[in-house]
Structure 1
C-alpha cells in the first residue's frame, strides 16, 4: 500500500516496512501509524532507534511498554548492510512478532528487504501527478479549503510536485483564504513562491520560445520577489545542463531524475523543452552559461552583466520546431 492510503491510528500489521525513502511520506507514515498513542504516553510507548543493530531492534520490539499497552518501535537511519546473523535474528522475530507491539522499519536503502514477506510494505515514494493532486484535494478539504483545479495544478508546479511542501503551503493559505475557503489560481500566485527549479523552468520556457514579453514578465516577477541575479543565472545554467543531458541520453524518467537530482515530474516537464533544441545548440548554450557563471564568480563581469548576456545568448538561438 502507499503511505497516502494509511488511515491514522490503524496499523496494517505488527511489522511495517516503510520503503522508498521519501522524507515527507516516511514521516507521514510514522505519524499515521503512531497517532493512536496519546501525547502524554509517547515517551513510554514510542521507542525511536537510530541506526541500531538487529539485536537492539529485536530486544526493544519484544519488550512490553511500561504502561502495559502496545508499544511502537521506530527504526531509522540504518543504511549499512545487515550481517547474516542480523538477518537471521530479525527474520526470526518477524516470523513470530509480539502482536501487541508494532515494529516500524524505515528502509531508505533496502537494508531490511529480508523481512518483506513477513511485513506490511508501505511505499513511501513521491506520488505521481494525479495521485498527488488527489491527496492534496483531500488534505485541503480537511482544513476547510476548496481548491479549484487550475489552482491545484499551479500549486503542484510551484512546489515541483513535492506533496510535503504543497501541504505546508495549504496550511498557510488556510489563514488567508476568503469566506467559503475557495482557493483560486490568483491566490496561489499571490501567496505561494515558486521554488527555484519552477522559476527557472518558466523563464527557460519563455526564452526558448522567443517570447520576450513573457521572459520580461518572469524576470520582473523574480526581481520583485527579491530573487538575486546570481540565483537566476545559476538556475538557468543548471537547467540547460539538464536539458543537454536529456537531449543526448535516453534514460527513463526515474533514472534521469536520479542523475539530475530532481523529481521525475520535473523530468517530464523538461523533456519537451529539450526537444526544441539540437544537441549541438544545447551544448553551446550550456557551455556559454557555465562560462558566464565563471566570469561572474571570478570578477570579470558583474552579475547583472552576466545575466543580461546569458539572456541575450539564449534569445538569439534558433529553435528547432
Structure 2
C-alpha cells in the first residue's frame, strides 16, 4: 500500500483480508463510520502485532501525551504501536510535527491515527503516511457493499439475498457484517434469498446479534437488541441460558490456545458460534470481569425466579440491569481508551 492511498465506498471493508507489502510507520485512517474504521484498524494492528510490537492507546485530546508516546521507545524492546483515536480537529495544529515525525520515525515505533476526515491532515501527512479514507455506503448501495464484503472473504451472496438480509437486520454495517458472518458459518456455496429467509426471520439471528454486540461491550446496542428479543416473545430464562453458555465459552477460550472452534464447542456442549464469538471478542473481558459476569448472571437468575426474599421484579428490569452491568465499560475497555 503506497502513500496517500485513498479508499472509499463499498469496497473498503474487504481490505482486512489482504496482505500489506509495504506499511509506513504512520497510518491515517479517516472515516465517518466507526465500523469501517475498526476493520482497517484491525488490519493495521495485526501487521505490527505480527512484528512483536506492543499496543498503546492514546486519545487525540492528549496531544502532549501522543507526542511523548511517539518518541518513547518500548521499555523491553520489541517495538511499540501507538493507536490514536478521537477527533481530527485535535491534531490539526500538530500536523506539521506529526509529518516531521513520520518523515524520520524512531526505530521500533509506529502509529495509527483513527479520526474523522480532515483535509489538513490529509494534505500534510499524505506524502509521509499511509492515508486510508473510508465512506459508508449510501442506503441504496448497502446491498452492493455486502456482496463485495463477502466476496472479500471468499463467499458469494446474491444481490436479492443481500437485500433480504439488510431488510431483516437493518442498515447498521456492524449488524449486517455480524449477520453475514453467521451466514457464512451456517452455509456453504452461494448464499441465496431462501437461505437468508430461513436463518434470519426468527429468534436465532436476533439472539446471535445480541450476544455479539454484548461481547463488544456496546451497551446501547445490546440493550436495543435485548428489547427487541423480549418484545418478540423470547423468554428471559432462554436469554439467560444463552448468556451463560456464552460466558462459559469466553472463559474457556482464554486458555484454549489454538484449539479449533469446533473442537472447543464440542467439549463445552455449545454451538460453534459461541466459541467463534469468544475468540473474536473475548479479550474485551479480563479474568476478573468474567468472574463478575458469572456472579451477575447468578443474581439475575435468582431474581427472575423470585429472589431470596420473594421479590417480584419485572423480568424486563432484571434483564436490562444485567445487560447494562455486563456491557458497562470495565478495566479492559478503559485501558483501550487510554
What TM-score, normalized by structure 1, do the two folds share? 0.49
Higher relative contact order (CA 8 A, sep 6+): 2
- Taking structure 2 as the reference length, the TM-score comes to 0.47
